[in-house]
Each structure stands twice: as structure tokens, then as C-alpha cells.
Amino acid sequence: MTDALQNPQKAPTFQPLYMQIKDLLMERIHTGEWSPGTFIPSEAALATTYQVSVGTLRKALNELVAENVVVRQQGKGTSVATHDGDHALFRFFNICRPDGERCLPVSIVLGRKVRKASAQEAQALGLQPGAKVIHISRTRELDGKPAIYEDITLCAERFIGLERQPEVLPNTLYRLYQQRFGATVAHADERIFAISADASQAQVLGIEVGAPLLQIVRIALDYQGRAIEKRVSVVSTQRHCYANRI
């Protein structure tokens, strides 16, 4: 362990000490020392390692909990967050019924292939122009009816073989990225637009041409802020809405 890790007081002081500790903890997650699902050492043990008070260490952990990087489990300790379970799904899935009730989506893959990235895709994913990407198209049913059409783009070099295997893609792709490719979606940037359904969207979603849709353009990012995925979703607003708690 480096001297900076052993003695964070020697690290640059332009940040509060607890933020320096947070960065040091994040680095151990970035490097894979603490993988998703792993229980990290106790607050007391970490405070001793970094030579800070338990209060300072706890404040750093609170920041990571608030960012959904780690999860406190009553009676067990603190673990690195995973994309398992409904809770993880709903963190990144903001479509619900008009009354705010959540419902689980059912995904139907329409196609996947390797092709050259468009200029917009390359820019969004930080790739060279014309780099190879994997494109996945799918619908997502809510309450038994098509509600969302998605175009998903990934770096082919980072997700080697995903265009072929697994034969059946899981409902939650982020879990697959994490478990099979070691790529954890930590954050996502979204932009939302109001559009009208074109003929192909209307056919897939079972709505009329010109019906109002929400278009959600999302860039999923890993712990280090690197783009993992570009996803463009169009959502029928006839029976569902976008909801987010700020």
C-alpha cells in the first residue's frame, strides 16, 4: 500500500479529508480489489488503515452509499453494490404507471449485430470514427403490452462476443455487463425529448403514426466516468410515464 493510502493527510489538501478517503475507497473498487458483492472491511478497520477517525471514515462511506456505490446490509456490513434484484433495476428504470406504481419490464430482443459506429455513437462512447460497435434493438413490455423501443450501442472491443452469446439476453443488461464483462454501470446521463412516432415506431409499439412519445437518450458510465453504453429509448405515453425523485 502506498504512503498516500496509509496516510491520507499527506494527500493533496484541496479536498476535505473525508472526500480524500472517499476517493481512496473508490480507487479500490475501480481496480477490482473490492468487486461487486464483496463485503469491505469494517469502519473501524478502515479507519485504522487510513489513520482517521471512525466519524471521518463513516462520512466517506455515507457519500458512497448516497451514490449507490456501496450498500449497507443490516447485521452483515457494507458491500460493493451489484445489479442484482429489482432495487438495482428500478434505480435505472424510471418508467411507471401514471399513479407512480412501478412495474417490471419484459424485454424482447429484435436483433443484435456488429457494425461500424455512427459519428454520434463514436463520440458518445469515446471511440474512433468507424470503430466497431455492437447494436442491440429490443422492445420492453409493461403490463403485457409493448411500451418501449430501445436501440443500444456498445463498444465491440469491450464486449467481445456479446453479439452472439449468451443466446438469450437477460432482462437486465447491466447485470450481464457487470458479471460477464466486469463493466459496472455506476451512473447515467439522460436527456429527454418529446417526439412524434414515425411509422416503424408506431408499428413496434402498436400506436398511431404521430402519437406522442418520450425519447430518452442515455449514456451509461462506469465508476471512472467512462462511457459503457449508449441507449436511445422511445416510450409510449398512453399508459405509462417517466418518474424521477430528485
DSSP per-residue string spanning 123-168: HHHT--TT-EEEEEEEEEEETTEEEEEEEEEEETTTTTTTTTSSSS
Q: Which residue has the higher pLDDT, 141 or 1?
A: 141
Residue 1 has pLDDT above 70, yes or no: no
Q: How many CB atoms lie within 10 A of CB 244?
A: 8
Q: Is 154 exposed, middle or buried (0-12, 13-18, 19+ CB in 10 A)?
A: buried
CA torsion 83-86-90-93 (nearest 10°) is 80
Mean pLDDT of the region 49-75? 90
Cα(246)–Cα(236) distance, integer angstroms: 23
The pLDDT value recorded for residue 220 is 96
The pLDDT value recorded for residue 144 is 92
Q: What is the pLDDT of residues 74-128, one digit of tens each?
A: 888 998 888 775 455 557 889 999 998 888 899 999 999 999 999 999 999 999 9
Cα(119)–Cα(131) distance, integer angstroms: 10
The pLDDT value recorded for residue 244 is 85
Look at residues 124, 136, 204 and name the one whose alpha carbon lies nearest to residue 171.
136
Look at residues 108, 72, 62, 66 and name the one whose alpha carbon lies nearest to residue 91.
66
The pLDDT value recorded for residue 207 is 95
pLDDT tier at 66, thresholds 50, 70, 90: confident
**Domains of the chain with CATH codes:** 17-80 (1.10.10.10), 98-242 (3.40.1410.10)
Mean pLDDT of the region 212-240? 95
Residue 239 has pLDDT above 50, yes or no: yes
The pLDDT value recorded for residue 85 is 58
pTM for the predicted model, two decimal places: 0.76
Q: What is the pLDDT of residues 151-184, one digit of tens each?
A: 999 999 999 999 998 889 988 899 899 989 989 9
Q: What is the pLDDT of residues 7-43, one digit of tens each?
A: 544 545 578 999 999 999 988 987 779 988 889 999 9
